[in-house]
């Protein structure tokens, strides 16, 4: 299916690892140019080396997204190099386990900077070029925004706020034809998820305990499945009348009766 993304410029925060990497690959497969904005971890380094070796249309801007000025600089760099922005995928973040008990207000605020504030900053600075292109924003949220999890107040607050911002921005940006949607993963095997599994006493038993509770197929969702929904929502050719939606891609994990498992 041609999603009409050829030669479009898409920004993906955290686009060099995990779900973000899958989104980057999906955009590239549709002929888009992708600008990955993130820190330079080993996973990102390996991904960028692969992109360079294949001459992929993938740029990289190293940024600490917790700093709004770094977000501004990233967008300014894209504007100078590409002269356009057609899509923004806000994705970077991590479940850092800042709970009500065992956390504190200072760590809570730090987590919001890590997981939420850059969503606003990136959209704010990209907005002039998104207006020109009548582009699209996709916010990657989490099922935690809908279900809660326990022990992760700051992450839950950030993910819930991302859903609220999705609909707030969809309303505010209607006059400019800018569509705003969100995608909510649940259980996806990313490097961060693998690291958490490996920290448990019995990673494989823990994994089976999780997958046994995912109704559709008793398996983890693949990053490529999150990415497929994301690129569809970026496409004005195929989802041009879709805005303010929260798309849950999780094999029924969030919404189906647990008796089904």
Which residue is listed with tokens 């008990």? 101
Q: What is the CB neighbour count within 10 angstroms for residue 78?
A: 22
119 belongs to the catalytic site: no
Of 119, 125, 155, 253, catalytic: 155
Residues with a catalytic annotation lie at 155
């Amino acid at each position: 299916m041609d999603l009409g993304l050829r030669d479009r410029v898409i920004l993906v925060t955290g686009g060099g690892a995990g779900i973000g990497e899958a989104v980057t690959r999906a955009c590239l497969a549709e002929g888009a140019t992708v600008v990955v904005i993130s820190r330079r971890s080993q996973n990102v380094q390996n991904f960028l080396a692969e992109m360079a070796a294949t001459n992929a249309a993938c740029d990289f801007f190293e940024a600490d997204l917790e700093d709004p000025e770094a977000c501004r600089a990233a967008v300014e760099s894209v504007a100078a190099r590409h002269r356009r922005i057609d899509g923004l995928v806000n994705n970077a973040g991590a479940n850092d386990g800042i709970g009500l008990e065992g956390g504190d207000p200072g760590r809570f605020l730090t987590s919001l900077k890590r997981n939420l504030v850059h969503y606003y900053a990136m959209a704010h600075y990209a907005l002039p070029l998104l207006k020109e292109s009548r582009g699209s924003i996709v916010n990657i949220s989490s099922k935690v925004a809908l279900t809660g999890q326990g022990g992760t107040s700051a992450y839950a607050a950030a993910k819930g706020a991302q859903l609220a911002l999705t609909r707030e921005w969809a309303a505010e940006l209607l006059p400019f034809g800018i569509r705003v949607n969100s995608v909510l993963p649940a259980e996806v095997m990313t490097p961060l998820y693998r690291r958490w599994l490996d920290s448990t006493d019995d990673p494989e038993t823990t994994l089976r305990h999780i997958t046994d509770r995912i109704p559709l197929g008793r398996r983890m969702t693949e990053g490529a499945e999150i990415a497929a929904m994301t690129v569809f929502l970026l496409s004005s050719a195929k989802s041009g009348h879709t805005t303010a939606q929260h798309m849950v891609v999780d094999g029924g994990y969030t919404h189906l009766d647990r008796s089904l498992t």
